[in-house]
Structure 1
Protein backbone atom coordinates (compact mmCIF):
# COMPACT_ATOMS: atom_id res chain seq x y z
CA UNK A 1 0.00 0.00 0.00
CA UNK A 2 1.32 3.43 -0.95
CA UNK A 3 1.26 6.27 1.56
CA UNK A 4 -0.41 9.51 0.57
CA UNK A 5 1.63 12.71 0.45
CA UNK A 6 -0.26 13.89 3.56
CA UNK A 7 0.80 10.70 5.39
CA UNK A 8 4.40 11.24 4.30
CA UNK A 9 4.44 14.82 5.60
CA UNK A 10 2.79 13.76 8.88
CA UNK A 11 5.47 11.09 9.28
CA UNK A 12 8.21 13.66 8.65
CA UNK A 13 6.72 15.89 11.34
CA UNK A 14 6.41 12.97 13.79
CA UNK A 15 10.01 11.86 13.17
CA UNK A 16 11.20 15.43 13.75
CA UNK A 17 9.23 15.68 17.01
CA UNK A 18 10.91 12.44 18.12
CA UNK A 19 14.24 14.22 17.78
CA UNK A 20 15.29 12.64 14.49
CA UNK A 21 17.05 14.72 11.85
CA UNK A 22 14.84 14.67 8.75
CA UNK A 23 15.04 15.75 5.12
CA UNK A 24 12.14 16.04 2.69
CA UNK A 25 12.54 15.63 -1.07
CA UNK A 26 9.77 17.09 -3.22
CA UNK A 27 9.23 16.77 -6.97
CA UNK A 28 8.89 20.39 -8.05
CA UNK A 29 8.86 19.98 -11.83
CA UNK A 30 8.44 17.24 -14.42
CA UNK A 31 8.91 17.10 -18.20
CA UNK A 32 7.72 14.40 -20.55
CA UNK A 33 7.05 10.98 -19.11
CA UNK A 34 7.73 11.12 -15.36
CA UNK A 35 6.99 8.31 -12.90
CA UNK A 36 5.66 10.59 -10.12
CA UNK A 37 3.86 13.94 -10.43
CA UNK A 38 5.00 17.29 -9.09
CA UNK A 39 4.24 17.49 -5.38
CA UNK A 40 5.33 13.91 -4.66
CA UNK A 41 7.45 13.50 -1.52
CA UNK A 42 10.15 11.28 -0.08
CA UNK A 43 11.13 11.70 3.57
CA UNK A 44 14.43 10.44 4.97
CA UNK A 45 15.74 10.41 8.53
CA UNK A 46 19.32 10.33 9.83
CA UNK A 47 19.24 6.51 10.01
CA UNK A 48 18.10 6.31 6.35
CA UNK A 49 14.56 5.28 7.23
CA UNK A 50 12.43 6.38 4.27
CA UNK A 51 8.81 6.84 3.32
CA UNK A 52 7.40 7.94 -0.02
CA UNK A 53 8.74 8.15 -3.54
CA UNK A 54 9.86 10.79 -6.00
CA UNK A 55 10.51 8.53 -8.97
CA UNK A 56 9.00 5.10 -8.53
CA UNK A 57 12.43 3.78 -7.59
CA UNK A 58 14.73 4.69 -10.47
CA UNK A 59 16.56 7.57 -8.73
CA UNK A 60 15.58 7.06 -5.09
CA UNK A 61 19.10 5.99 -4.08
CA UNK A 62 20.63 9.20 -5.40
CA UNK A 63 17.91 11.30 -3.75
CA UNK A 64 18.48 9.54 -0.41
CA UNK A 65 22.22 10.24 -0.69
CA UNK A 66 21.49 13.92 -1.31
CA UNK A 67 19.02 13.94 1.59
CA UNK A 68 21.69 12.56 3.93
CA UNK A 69 24.02 15.36 2.82
CA UNK A 70 21.26 17.92 3.45
CA UNK A 71 20.72 16.48 6.94
CA UNK A 72 24.46 16.76 7.59
CA UNK A 73 25.09 20.29 6.32
CA UNK A 74 21.63 21.90 6.37
CA UNK A 75 22.01 23.26 2.83
CA UNK A 76 19.02 22.60 0.56
CA UNK A 77 19.63 21.28 -2.95
CA UNK A 78 17.83 21.28 -6.27
CA UNK A 79 18.66 18.15 -8.26
CA UNK A 80 17.55 17.07 -11.72
CA UNK A 81 17.33 13.63 -13.28
CA UNK A 82 16.65 12.54 -16.84
CA UNK A 83 17.96 10.43 -19.69
CA UNK A 84 20.47 11.64 -22.24
CA UNK A 85 23.09 9.82 -24.29
CA UNK A 86 25.97 11.24 -22.24
CA UNK A 87 24.34 10.16 -18.96
CA UNK A 88 23.12 6.73 -20.01
CA UNK A 89 25.42 5.02 -17.51
CA UNK A 90 24.54 7.37 -14.64
CA UNK A 91 21.44 7.53 -12.47
CA UNK A 92 18.46 8.56 -14.58
CA UNK A 93 14.91 7.97 -15.63
CA UNK A 94 14.47 5.10 -18.03
CA UNK A 95 11.01 6.42 -18.95
CA UNK A 96 12.60 9.22 -20.97
CA UNK A 97 11.24 12.05 -18.83
CA UNK A 98 12.97 14.46 -16.50
CA UNK A 99 12.26 15.51 -12.95
CA UNK A 100 13.54 18.28 -10.72
CA UNK A 101 13.61 17.52 -6.97
CA UNK A 102 14.09 19.98 -4.12
CA UNK A 103 15.66 18.49 -0.98
CA UNK A 104 15.52 20.37 2.32
CA UNK A 105 16.08 19.66 5.99
CA UNK A 106 13.09 19.85 8.31
CA UNK A 107 14.06 22.04 11.25
Structure 2
Protein backbone atom coordinates (compact mmCIF):
# COMPACT_ATOMS: atom_id res chain seq x y z
CA UNK A 1 0.00 0.00 0.00
CA UNK A 2 1.41 3.34 -0.94
CA UNK A 3 1.59 6.36 1.36
CA UNK A 4 -1.10 8.05 -0.73
CA UNK A 5 -3.52 5.18 -0.14
CA UNK A 6 -2.84 5.29 3.62
CA UNK A 7 -3.42 9.04 3.65
CA UNK A 8 -6.69 8.57 1.74
CA UNK A 9 -8.01 6.12 4.37
CA UNK A 10 -6.97 8.40 7.21
CA UNK A 11 -8.34 11.46 5.42
CA UNK A 12 -11.64 9.72 4.75
CA UNK A 13 -11.85 8.58 8.39
CA UNK A 14 -11.13 12.13 9.56
CA UNK A 15 -13.81 13.53 7.24
CA UNK A 16 -16.37 11.02 8.50
CA UNK A 17 -15.43 11.75 12.12
CA UNK A 18 -15.68 15.52 11.55
CA UNK A 19 -19.17 14.96 10.10
CA UNK A 20 -20.23 13.31 13.36
CA UNK A 21 -19.85 9.65 12.38
CA UNK A 22 -18.52 7.14 14.88
CA UNK A 23 -15.42 5.60 13.27
CA UNK A 24 -13.05 2.72 13.95
CA UNK A 25 -9.68 2.27 12.27
CA UNK A 26 -8.24 -1.17 11.56
CA UNK A 27 -4.50 -1.47 10.87
CA UNK A 28 -2.53 -4.55 9.79
CA UNK A 29 0.23 -4.77 12.40
CA UNK A 30 1.90 -8.02 11.40
CA UNK A 31 1.89 -10.55 8.56
CA UNK A 32 3.53 -13.91 8.08
CA UNK A 33 3.76 -16.03 4.95
CA UNK A 34 1.29 -15.35 2.17
CA UNK A 35 -0.73 -12.25 3.02
CA UNK A 36 -2.86 -10.18 0.63
CA UNK A 37 -2.01 -6.82 2.27
CA UNK A 38 1.23 -5.68 3.93
CA UNK A 39 1.68 -4.40 7.48
CA UNK A 40 0.48 -0.80 7.68
CA UNK A 41 -2.57 -1.39 5.47
CA UNK A 42 -5.67 0.25 6.92
CA UNK A 43 -9.44 0.16 6.76
CA UNK A 44 -11.86 2.69 8.28
CA UNK A 45 -15.37 1.60 9.31
CA UNK A 46 -18.28 3.76 10.46
CA UNK A 47 -21.15 2.86 12.75
CA UNK A 48 -23.47 3.38 9.77
CA UNK A 49 -21.54 0.73 7.79
CA UNK A 50 -19.37 2.78 5.47
CA UNK A 51 -15.89 1.40 4.76
CA UNK A 52 -12.72 2.73 3.15
CA UNK A 53 -9.43 0.94 2.56
CA UNK A 54 -8.54 -2.72 2.92
CA UNK A 55 -6.75 -4.99 5.35
CA UNK A 56 -6.93 -8.18 3.32
CA UNK A 57 -8.15 -7.69 -0.19
CA UNK A 58 -11.56 -9.01 0.86
CA UNK A 59 -11.01 -12.29 2.68
CA UNK A 60 -11.33 -11.01 6.28
CA UNK A 61 -12.93 -7.60 5.77
CA UNK A 62 -16.33 -8.79 7.05
CA UNK A 63 -14.89 -10.11 10.30
CA UNK A 64 -12.80 -6.97 10.78
CA UNK A 65 -15.83 -4.74 10.12
CA UNK A 66 -17.81 -6.76 12.69
CA UNK A 67 -15.02 -6.28 15.24
CA UNK A 68 -14.86 -2.56 14.36
CA UNK A 69 -18.57 -2.21 15.18
CA UNK A 70 -17.95 -3.81 18.57
CA UNK A 71 -15.01 -1.48 19.18
CA UNK A 72 -17.15 1.53 18.27
CA UNK A 73 -19.81 0.35 20.76
CA UNK A 74 -17.45 -0.50 23.63
CA UNK A 75 -14.54 1.87 23.01
CA UNK A 76 -12.18 -1.04 23.71
CA UNK A 77 -9.45 -1.69 21.14
CA UNK A 78 -8.91 -5.22 19.84
CA UNK A 79 -6.01 -7.15 18.35
CA UNK A 80 -7.39 -9.67 15.86
CA UNK A 81 -5.34 -12.68 14.78
CA UNK A 82 -6.19 -14.55 11.57
CA UNK A 83 -4.22 -17.50 10.26
CA UNK A 84 -4.37 -20.99 8.86
CA UNK A 85 -4.37 -22.46 12.36
CA UNK A 86 -7.22 -20.19 13.42
CA UNK A 87 -10.62 -21.82 12.92
CA UNK A 88 -12.25 -18.40 12.39
CA UNK A 89 -9.74 -17.60 9.63
CA UNK A 90 -11.04 -20.45 7.48
CA UNK A 91 -14.59 -19.41 8.27
CA UNK A 92 -13.97 -15.88 6.97
CA UNK A 93 -11.93 -17.10 4.01
CA UNK A 94 -8.24 -16.60 4.87
CA UNK A 95 -7.09 -19.57 2.86
CA UNK A 96 -3.89 -17.96 1.52
CA UNK A 97 -1.72 -19.88 3.96
CA UNK A 98 -0.47 -16.86 5.87
CA UNK A 99 -1.20 -15.04 9.09
CA UNK A 100 -2.43 -11.50 9.66
CA UNK A 101 -2.78 -9.45 12.86
CA UNK A 102 -5.09 -6.44 12.76
CA UNK A 103 -5.38 -3.78 15.48
CA UNK A 104 -8.81 -2.12 15.70
CA UNK A 105 -9.33 1.16 17.58
CA UNK A 106 -12.10 3.72 17.88
CA UNK A 107 -11.28 7.22 16.64
CA UNK A 108 -12.20 9.90 19.14
> Shift of the alpha carbon at 1:92?
4.4
- CA distance, structure 1, for counterparts of residue 50 and residue 72 of structure 2: 13
**Counterpart secondary structure, 1:102:** strand
> Shift of the alpha carbon at 1:90?
2.2
**Counterpart secondary structure, 2:38:** coil
What does 1:13-92 correspond to in 2, within 5 Å? Answer: 13-84=14-85, 87=87, 89-92=90-93
Answer whether contact 2:83 2:99 (CA < 8 A) is retained: yes
TM-score after normalising by structure 2: 0.91
Q: 1:104 to 1:18 in 2, by over 3 A?
A: same
The structure richer in helix per residue is: 2
Q: How many residues align?
A: 104
Structure 1, gaps ≥5 residues long: none
- CA distance, structure 1, for counterparts of residue 33 and residue 47 of structure 2: 33
- RMSD of aligned alpha carbons: 1.5
Structure 2, gaps ≥5 residues long: none
TM-score after normalising by structure 1: 0.92
Give structure 1 regions of 4+ aligned residues with deviation exceeding 4 angstroms: none
